[in-house]
Structure 1
Amino acid sequence: MKAKKALSDGELIKNCAIKMAEAFNENKVGNKFQTVPLSKQTVTRRLEDISNQISNNVKDIIANCSYFSIALDESTDVSDTNQLLIFVRAIKEDFTIFEELLQVCSLHSTTRVTDGAKSMTGTISGFVGFLRQNQITVPTLHCIIHQEALCAKSIKLSTTMATVTKFTNLIRGGNRSLTHRKFLTLLEEMDSAYGDLLLHTEVRWLSRGKCLVRFFELRHEIATFLREEVTNSAELQNDLEDVEFLRNLAFLTDITQHLNVLNLQLQGKKQTICQMVGFVDSFRKKLHLFKSALDKNNLLHFPCCRKLSEEEEEEEEEEGLEFRDYTEIIEDLSSEFDRRFNDFESFRPDISLFSNPIHCDIESQPGHLQLELCELQCDPSLNTSQVTGIDFWKLLSPERYPLLRNWALKLCSVFASTYICETAFSSLKHVKSKNRNRLSDVVLSHILRVATSQLEVDFISLVSSFMKPQCSH
């Protein structure tokens, strides 16, 4: 079930276990395996039992936690059904964090809840608007990873990306298997650094950067291949010789790679909002550094641009290429980050206090925390502690710092991204595929809960809950 395999695979596993026992001359063990019921129907019932136990455990965690938040995201499965996933992030008094699937909602008719788009946080439409119409006031955030991806799309070099996609599709697009094989042979003969081009997929966060890096490194091999193997490709060959296109390609590759580094930092489960905002703040500082460097045509942080410039310098025997004019794109990207991450500014004072409680200005902090902060900043054991972040707050005594611990628990309970939903959608594609698209909504919900849960299943209590074991007939 964790492997997200078909429910009918139970019989296959049973037969393999029997054959394995017989191979070791353990016929008695093989006979016992014969009695184990693993039909599709039985496995489905067992799956439901396991899922229900996990669901009950999640409810207990929510009932006994200090604080919790929820993350919602929606996507369309292979049968064109919108699946809304709701995850809960609960934190206990000892700062133990649980992130578990709360509910799978299959939306067969009109959907009222939007996905990671900005409209989800609107005051009228979307989930947040629905909450406010029902007088439910809670802090809300638009997924930090989605916003980073939207910022990346604002780079004004879409024509360059479209041209790269045209090249890639010409070589390894649909119905071009012969052309693709010839290209692979050429790369092997030329002992290229990479063995193939990569296709670009919009829905995959890191796809564009990987595609661009591979294309930039193989641009000479691609030019050779077009000249030798592809007729009527003169226009595309000209693009690969056009300095302006190559400059755009090099810059787009470098800046997209920097964005991919940020995206990878933001991925991962159980990250606090403080960590994620810290990564974004770091990137915003990098953008200022990039602009300052490009103003001087310093390509230290742009390896593809530097490589292209050095190649042109060797070929033309003159100064390398200029990249100063790309500072405007850096400025626009920086402005886009400022605009899109504005909703995190309300958390800025809390993040600052969480990250540096020892040296914060006590008078600027919330009044109910000030007395305990005085105690904390004068506590020798905490002043000499080397731990930071959530590990530091675990050190605070509940008796001496009840208000500060409670405040930190609340902040650590916040979902800053829907990354956990995205990973569950990846599981959904394996579970409900084109070869297994008739799963009922209930069974799909059970499979996803078991597949995504980090809670241990108490099989002994499950078995003991039945009056007598069920044997295979």
Structure 2
Amino acid sequence: MKEYNIRRHYETKNHDKYKHLDMTQRLQKVEELKRSLVSQQTMFTKAKSQSEAAVKDSFIVAAEVAKSARPFTEGEFVKNCMIKVCDAVCPEKRQAFLNVSLSRNTVADRVRHLAANLQQQLVRKGKDFIAYSLAVDESTDTSDTAQLSIFIRGVDSSLCVTEEFLGLHSMHGTTLGKDLFEDVSRCVDKMGLPWDKLVGLKTDGAPAMCGQKSGLVGRIREKVQEENVTGELTAYHCIIHQESLCGKALKMEHVMSIITRAVNFIRVKGLNHRQFKSFLAELSSEYGDLPYHTEVRWLSQGKVLERFFELREEICEFMESKGKDTTELRNKKFLCEVAFLCDIMSHLNALNLQLQGRGRVITDMYATVRAFKTKLRLWETQTLQENLSYFPHCQTMKEQVAATIFPTTQFAEKLGILGADFTQRFADFEAQKSRFELLSNPFTADVESA
């Protein structure tokens, strides 16, 4: 401060209060005022640090609430639990826990701040991408509203890969190719991602997605060409979804429909369900219940088949006690088909799980699919030779029925059809075989065409 400003303030405000003090008393008064100032500053600093700690803690709890997809009101429940634990463990810290605000509105506000921060981080990372790809999926929720989800995977110059959820858009009108393109384009522009760095696009295989002219793939290719991009946009149908669709090539829906009717008879009515569980408990069965089969849950079919085969005798006895005809369920040929479908679905489910997870590279995923295609050829040959080493349920049924009843040749044909369907559906991946080999094993790749 300037000296004359201080003098003027002293003469107008404090001269009469301190004019009677001598020099020694003045020095003592100055020291006293300094100590008072330091004490005030310490109090405010302490209060500020406590306040910052309380805010940080509320952000931590809000992040956990959001990650677990719980309602925002859970914050108040968590706070009550923390206070009760504090009273038992460290009652002197009770006020610090009370200062943490976890009301519904506060948690919602914290989650909004976290989401905005994550988006800002993704925008900053996106500026450093030398290439990125998009994964787009459209599905209808329980309120019949179409939800478009968009994921991104980008790589920077240091080969650091970023894989994130880019956006979720509700589509209340039509879901044509132009509608999908508008939402995807709006999301890309909002994130500031350059179109000339887009190198890959993954869709769910719907016509509105993969149409070459009016579909999302065709429109994005036009957009990329407008940006004067010379590189090729590679479009794929989701590899996990295609693997799931391959199972339908077996054309054994008649087997699954009979099993589904039996399961629904037991599970739909509460009384039947309770009595069936009690029946299994009386028999000291290894399993205590039957699971439902849901079409959208791809792995559920294999689980239902496995459980049905293990409980086939118990299910027939229970249904007969209810006056139901079980002729179909006891048919030897039908049970052989159930055993085969159970074995092959367990192999398909294992393949599906191998393809799932974050950070998977397409070369490894396709190598897994190619290995499975080779296994199918091996299993077809072995089945024709009546070698069922990889089909334990089929082995069980073959030991229980006559050799003329067990349709070995029919099952071998099914394996051949399944292998052909894998080849057809993954033709777009086969077209990229040379690129995959360059990345997975550079020493065997053709250098001239790389």
TM-score, structure 1 as length reference: 0.71
1:47-58 correspondence to structure 2 within 5 Å: 47-58=111-122
Determine the structure 2 residue equivalent to 1:222.
315
Given that 2:332 and 2:405 are in contact with CA atoms closer than 8 Å, whether structure 1 keeps it comes out as no
- Higher deviation after alignment, 120-129 or 253-262: 120-129
- Relative to structure 1, the CA distance from residue 308 to residue 32 in structure 2 (aligned partners, 3 Å threshold; closer, same or farther) is same
Determine the structure 2 residue equivalent to 1:103.
167
Given that 2:437 and 2:444 are in contact with CA atoms closer than 8 Å, whether structure 1 keeps it comes out as no
Determine the structure 1 residue equivalent to 2:292.
199
Of 172, 175, 200, the match for 2:267: 172
Task: Find out whether 1:283 has 2:372 as its counterpart.
Answer: yes
Q: SS of the residue aligned with 1:362?
A: coil
**Could you say which structure has the greater relative contact order, defined with CA pairs below 8 angstroms and 6 or more residues apart?**
1
1:66-215 correspondence to structure 2 within 5 Å: 66-112=130-176, 116-119=204-207, 120-134=209-223, 136=225, 138-173=233-268, 176-215=269-308
In the alignment, the residues of structure 1 paired with residue 379 and residue 358 of structure 2 have an alpha-carbon distance, to the nearest angstrom, of 30
Per-residue deviation, residues 415-446 of structure 1 (Å, max 9, x unmatched): xxxxxxxxxxxxxxxxxxxxxxxxxxxxxxxx
Q: SS of the residue aligned with 2:72?
A: coil
Q: Which amino acid aligns with 1:13?
A: V
Q: Which runs of 5+ in 2 are unaligned?
A: 1-65, 181-202, 226-231
- Relative to structure 1, the CA distance from residue 126 to residue 359 in structure 2 (aligned partners, 3 Å threshold; closer, same or farther) is closer
Q: SS of the residue aligned with 1:91?
A: strand
Of 57, 61, 64, the match for 2:128: 64
Larger of the two Rg values belongs to structure: 2
Percent identity over the alignment is: 39
Q: What is the deviation of 1:211? A: 0.5
In the alignment, the residues of structure 1 paired with residue 76 and residue 131 of structure 2 have an alpha-carbon distance, to the nearest angstrom, of 43
CA RMSD of aligned residues (A): 2.0
Given that 1:128 and 1:140 are in contact with CA atoms closer than 8 Å, whether structure 2 keeps it comes out as yes
Of 422, 433, 436, the match for 1:351: 436
Per-residue deviation, residues 373-417 of structure 1 (Å, max 9, x unmatched): xxxxxxxxxxxxxxxxxxxxxxxxxxxxxxxxxxxxxxxxxxxxx
Q: Which amino acid aligns with 1:16?
A: C
In the alignment, the residues of structure 2 paired with residue 3 and residue 260 of structure 1 have an alpha-carbon distance, to the nearest angstrom, of 26
Determine the structure 1 residue equivalent to 2:67.
2
Given that 1:87 and 1:101 are in contact with CA atoms closer than 8 Å, whether structure 2 keeps it comes out as yes
In the alignment, the residues of structure 2 paired with residue 226 and residue 22 of structure 1 have an alpha-carbon distance, to the nearest angstrom, of 57
Of 376, 384, 399, the match for 1:310: 399
Higher helix share: 2
Q: SS of the residue aligned with 1:106?
A: strand
Q: What is the deviation of 1:60? A: 1.3
Q: Which amino acid aligns with 1:110?
A: T
Determine the structure 2 residue equivalent to 1:341.
426
Given that 1:86 and 1:102 are in contact with CA atoms closer than 8 Å, whether structure 2 keeps it comes out as yes
In the alignment, the residues of structure 1 paired with residue 244 and residue 286 of structure 2 have an alpha-carbon distance, to the nearest angstrom, of 28
Given that 1:290 and 1:301 are in contact with CA atoms closer than 8 Å, whether structure 2 keeps it comes out as yes
Give the count of matched residue pairs. 354
Per-residue deviation, residues 41-90 of structure 1 (Å, max 9, x unmatched): 22222111111111111111111133211111122233332221111112
1:393-408 correspondence to structure 2 within 5 Å: none
Q: Which amino acid aligns with 1:226?
A: M
Q: Which runs of 5+ in 1 are unaligned?
A: 367-473
Q: SS of the residue aligned with 1:205?
A: coil
- Higher deviation after alignment, 107-116 or 293-302: 107-116
In the alignment, the residues of structure 2 paired with residue 9 and residue 118 of structure 1 have an alpha-carbon distance, to the nearest angstrom, of 39
In the alignment, the residues of structure 2 paired with residue 321 and residue 13 of structure 1 have an alpha-carbon distance, to the nearest angstrom, of 60
Q: What is the deviation of 1:25? A: 4.7
Q: What is the deviation of 1:319? A: 7.5
Given that 2:176 and 2:215 are in contact with CA atoms closer than 8 Å, whether structure 1 keeps it comes out as yes
Q: What is the deviation of 1:8? A: 1.7
Given that 1:86 and 1:104 are in contact with CA atoms closer than 8 Å, whether structure 2 keeps it comes out as yes
- Relative to structure 1, the CA distance from residue 335 to residue 311 in structure 2 (aligned partners, 3 Å threshold; closer, same or farther) is same
In the alignment, the residues of structure 2 paired with residue 308 and residue 330 of structure 1 have an alpha-carbon distance, to the nearest angstrom, of 18
1:35-46 correspondence to structure 2 within 5 Å: 35-46=99-110
Given that 2:151 and 2:163 are in contact with CA atoms closer than 8 Å, whether structure 1 keeps it comes out as yes
Q: Which amino acid aligns with 1:255?
A: I
Given that 1:66 and 1:91 are in contact with CA atoms closer than 8 Å, whether structure 2 keeps it comes out as yes
Q: Which amino acid aligns with 2:265?
A: L
- Relative to structure 1, the CA distance from residue 81 to residue 179 in structure 2 (aligned partners, 3 Å threshold; closer, same or farther) is same
In the alignment, the residues of structure 2 paired with residue 125 and residue 290 of structure 1 have an alpha-carbon distance, to the nearest angstrom, of 42
Determine the structure 1 residue equivalent to 2:329.
240
Per-residue deviation, residues 76-125 of structure 1 (Å, max 9, x unmatched): 23333222111111223343322111112121222235761342222134
Q: SS of the residue aligned with 1:66?
A: strand
